[in-house]
Amino acid sequence: MAWFTKTRKPMAPTDKVSRVPEGLYVKCPGCTQVIYNKDLAANLGVCPRCAHHFKMSALERLGMLFDGDYTIHDPNLVSTDPLEFTDTKPYKSRLKASIASTGMKDAVVTATGFLEGIETVIAAMEYTFIGGSMGVVVGEKVTRAIERALERRAPMIIVSSSGGARMMEGALSLMQMAKTAAALARLDRAGLPFISVLTDPTTGGVTASFAMLGDLNIAEPKALIGFAGPRVIEQTIRQKLPEGFQRSEFLLEHGMIDMVVDRRELKATITRALTFMGATPARAAAVRPTPADPGTGVPGETT
C-alpha cells in the first residue's frame, strides 16, 4: 500500500491534518503520540494507541478490502463542465488541479475483485478530489458499478467519503442522487446485498442517497456523518447541538446506522455479513484473481 502519498491540498475546511502525511513520523491528532509512519501503514492507518482513524485514499481502501488484484472500471470518465461554472476560479481549473494531484479523473474508483473469495464490486470515494463530491461522473460510475454487480450477481459495497453533491454541476449533480438510488433499488429487487461503509466525512447528497441505503450501514469510529454541517444546523435552529452530534457513535445510539466497526475489523465484518446474506466464495481466498486490467473507460464496456 502506498502510504507515502504526495501531500495534497485539502479541498474543504473540515479536512484537518488527519491524512497520513509525508515523512518518517506522524503526530496523531487524537492523542498527540508520535507514530512511525510504517507502523501506521501496517496498522491500516489506525493509531495503535488511541485508535484514531486517519483518512484513507480510494486505492488504499480497495487494496485493504480486496484479496489481491482487482479490475478497475471506467477510469477515464471525466467531467465535461456542463455549466461552464466559475466561482472563485473556473471549475475546469479545479478539475485540472485535482486530476494532477490525485492521478484520478474523478472522485470515485470502482472495481471488481474478490473479498475473502467472494466476487464483489466495490466503489471507493476519494476525498482529496474536490472534497469527494458527487457530480455526473461519480454518479455514473457508481451506477455502472451497481449494474455490473447486477450482471454478475455479485454483492455491492460502496465506501463513502464525501462532502456531498458537486455544486459546480448544479442540478445535474443532484440528479445523481436519484439515479444511484434507482440503481440500488434494482439491486434490491434482484435480491443482491448492498453494504454501505461510511467514513469520515460522509455528508450532503451522498448521505441523502446511496450512503444510507445499505442493507447494512457500517460506519468507521468517530466519522462525521450527516446532511447539513453542525454549524449550519446550529445557525438555523439557534440551539447548541449535543456533544458528539453527527458522529458515528451518536448515530448508532439513535438508530441511524447499524454498526460502528474499527477499520482493522472491517473486512472480517463485511465477510461475515455477506456470508450471512447468502454469498458464497467463488474461489479460495488465497488464490489470486486475474491481473488487473486498467480498462479504457469506453462507455458501456464491461471490463
Distance of alpha carbon 303 from alpha carbon 296, whole angstroms:
9
Nearer to Zn ion, 52 or 144 (CB): 52
Of 49, 153, 231, 288, the one binding Zn ion by CB under 5 A: 49
Question: In the bound complex, what is the minimum distance in angstroms from residue 239's beta carbon to Zn ion?
Answer: 32
Min dist. Cβ of residue 244 to Zn ion (A): 18
Instruction: Write down the number of H helices and E strands in the chain.
Output: 9, 9
Residue 115 interacts with Zn ion (CB under 5 A): yes or no? no
Closer CB to Zn ion, 6 or 49, in the complex: 49
CB of 52 to Zn ion, least distance (A): 4
Pairing of strands 71-73, 259-260: unpaired
* C-alpha cell read off for 14: 473540515
Among 19, 52, 61, 166, binds Zn ion (CB under 5 A): 52
Nearer to Zn ion, 30 or 68 (CB): 30
Nearer to Zn ion, 56 or 212 (CB): 56
For residue 44, give the amino acid letter: L
For residue 29, the minimal CB distance to Zn ion (Å) is 8
Question: How many residues bind Zn ion, per CB under 5 A?
Answer: 8
Q: How far is the CB of 203 from Zn ion (least distance, A)?
A: 24
Residue 50 near residue 29 (C-beta atoms within 8 A): no
| 44 Cβ neighbours under 8 A, 6+ residues apart | 56, 64, 263, 264
Candidates 50, 178, 284, 298: give the one binding Zn ion (CB under 5 A). 50
- In the bound state with Zn ion, the residue whose beta carbon lies nearer, of 47 and 145, is 47
The cell numbers describing 36, all together, are 512511525
Do 111 and 66 form a contact (C-beta atoms < 8 A)?
yes
Mark 9-48 with x for binding to Zn ion (rule: CB under 5 A) and - for no binding: -------------------x-xx-x-------------x-
Instruction: Report in angstroms how near the CB of residue 49 gets to Zn ion at its nearest.
Output: 5
Which grid coordinates belong to 163? Answer: 462532502
Tell which residue, 42, 66, 40, 65, has the closest CA to residue 54: 40
For Zn ion, give the closer residue by CB, 25 or 276. 25
Quick one: 13 or 29, whose CB is closer to Zn ion? 29
Long-range contacts of 281-285 (CB under 8 A, 24+ apart): 281/114, 281/116, 281/117, 281/118, 282/114, 282/117, 282/118, 282/119, 283/114, 283/117, 284/117, 285/67, 285/114, 285/116, 285/117
- In the complex, the residues that contact Zn ion under the rule CB under 5 A are 28, 30-31, 33, 47, 49-50, 52
